[in-house]
Amino acid sequence: MIQVLLPLITALGLSAIAAFYSVIGLAQIFPGSFWPIVIMGSVLEIAKLVTISWLYNNWNVTMRWMRYYFNIAIVLLMLITSMGIFGYLSKAHLESNVVLGANTVQLRTIEAQEKIAQDRLSYLLKQASDPEKINPRVDRDIRAAQAELKKLAQEKLPLMAEENKLAAEIGPIKYIAELFYSKDDPAFIDKAVRAVIITIIIVFDPLAILLLIASQQSYRKLKGLPESVNTEKPLDKEPEYSIQYPDEIYEIIPKERVAKFKRNGDIE
């Protein structure tokens, strides 16, 4: 029984998680109709599992055109589920990139202001070193430039800490990306993320479907039922049937007793 329950529970668990990711992902692709998409996606996920189970158990008694349609529908539903999972995981990656990008923009802006203030301070210090140009105004400008640099450094410190934190969060995918892509490519992290998501999709919904079929097979074997799908090769020619009757029913008439039939069917 464990061979039946374990694949079944695993298949239902994978299907439930895939359905959740898929439904939320589809709702994010069509944000204008959130709840209708959630309802539609949930019903389609349930219909997919029911169709797979029913088709497997009734394969031999299902009309050919129904088999074709069910198989096509299952494949399309798997693609829909995969698209939803791709959308969900992609959105999670994009949200982290948005936060990191906004933080980076603020940090670069402060660094630019810091460079301007540093150049201004250098110019003022150069003027202060000339006895002919030194005056109280230069001293005030120097103190103002130093205060501005101090203020910019205080604003820069939390942004740098946040950027380091965000960089640590994307560190694992960055290391994976460096194994397969060049750092010179500005989109090497995005390419690695897409590759990881596609890999997850390949082993997510298809694995759940195959485990569901495996649990059905184990159940039929446990109950001693025949296989649902007939895997035997068709015969090249029709079998020859023979009917044997008991010897006591019919009497063998010797050749010498055989006579001509009369018109009324009696034997002479």
Amino acid found at 18? A
Q: For residue 251, tell me if it sits in a domain.
A: no
3-state helix vs strand vs coil in the chain, percent to 5: 75, 0, 25
For 59-67, the CB contacts below 8 A with 24+ separation are 59/228, 59/229, 59/230, 60/228, 60/229, 60/230
Look at residue 244 and tell me whether its pLDDT is greater than 60: no
Of 47 and 138, the one with more pLDDT? 47
Tell me the average pLDDT across 79-106: 83
Kindly tell me the number of DSSP H helices and DSSP E strands found in the chain: 7, 0
Tokens of 117: 């203030």
Confidence of residue 246 (pLDDT cuts 50, 70, 90): low
Tell me the average pLDDT across 215-230: 78
Q: For residue 261, tell me if it sits in a domain.
A: no
Closest listed residue to residue 52, CA positions, set 8, 92, 94? 8
Q: For residue 215, tell me if it sits in a domain.
A: yes
Half-sphere exposure of 206 (CA within 13 A, CB side): 8
pLDDT at 126: 82
Residues 83, 26: contact at Cβ < 8 Å? yes
Element (H, E) at 120: helix 64-128
Poorest-confidence range of 186-195, 223-232, 259-268?
A: 259-268
Confidence of residue 43 (pLDDT cuts 50, 70, 90): very high
CA dihedral 137, 138, 142, 145 (to 10 degrees): 70
Residues 127, 133: contact at Cβ < 8 Å? yes
Poorest-confidence range of 49-58, 59-68, 202-211, 226-235?
A: 226-235
Q: CA angle at residue 15 from 11 to 17, to 5 degrees?
A: 120
Q: For residue 240, tell me if it sits in a domain.
A: no
Residues 88, 205: contact at Cβ < 8 Å? no
Residues 85, 20: contact at Cβ < 8 Å? no
List pLDDT tens digits, range 153-187.
888 888 888 877 777 777 777 788 888 888 788 78
Tell me the average pLDDT across 39-63: 91
CB burial class (10 A; 0-12, 13-18, 19+) of residue 173?
Answer: middle
Look at residue 237 and tell me whether its pLDDT is greater than 60: no
Of 45 and 138, the one with more pLDDT? 45
What is the residue range of 69's domain?
2-222
Look at residue 44 and tell me whether its pLDDT is greater than 50: yes
Rounded-to-integer distance, Cα 139 and Cα 33, Å:
64
Look at residue 109 and tell me whether its pLDDT is greater than 80: yes
Q: For residue 6, tell me if it sits in a domain.
A: yes
Q: For residue 20, tell me if it sits in a domain.
A: yes
Tell me the average pLDDT across 119-126: 84
Q: What is the DSSP letter of 257?
A: G
Q: For residue 258, tell me if it sits in a domain.
A: no
Tell me the average pLDDT across 14-34: 88
Confidence of residue 262 (pLDDT cuts 50, 70, 90): very low
* pLDDT, mean over the chain: 80
Confidence of residue 254 (pLDDT cuts 50, 70, 90): low
Question: How many structural domains is the chain composed of?
Answer: 1
Q: For residue 246, tell me if it sits in a domain.
A: no
**Beta bridge pairs of residue 150:** none
**Beta bridge pairs of residue 267:** 261
Confidence of residue 64 (pLDDT cuts 50, 70, 90): very high
